[in-house]
Amino acid sequence: SETRTHREMPHLQNIERDFPLNWTLNPIRISSSLAANTLSLYRKISQNMWRSCIQFCHSPKFQQYVRFLESSLCQF
């Protein structure tokens, strides 16, 4: 009977796999792991942004722009 219900409702099987039963009994563990996931995601994003900022600052186009700004400021 168990396999029949799983065949009829495969999404329930996924929920059981993603959220083990002891998690549903332990909301503190859920929230702490969610917080950890969010933090690591944020860290990844900020690292990528930092890396792309550095790449942008070293790009010739940006260097050109800086030189242009400097020369126009010197004219004042």
Contacts of range 68-74, beta carbons closer than 8 Å, 24 or more positions apart: none
Confidence of residue 33 (pLDDT cuts 50, 70, 90): confident
Provide DSSP, 16-28. HHHS-HHHHT-HH
Residue 63, both tokens: 């260097």
Question: For residue 54, is pLDDT > 70?
Answer: yes
The predicted pLDDT at position 67 comes to 92
Average pLDDT, the chain: 76
Task: Tell which wins on pLDDT, 31 or 48.
Answer: 48
CA distance 3 to 64: 66
Question: For residue 27, is pLDDT > 90?
Answer: no
Domain ranges of the chain: 2-74
Torsion of CA 67, 71, 74, 76, to 10 degrees: -130
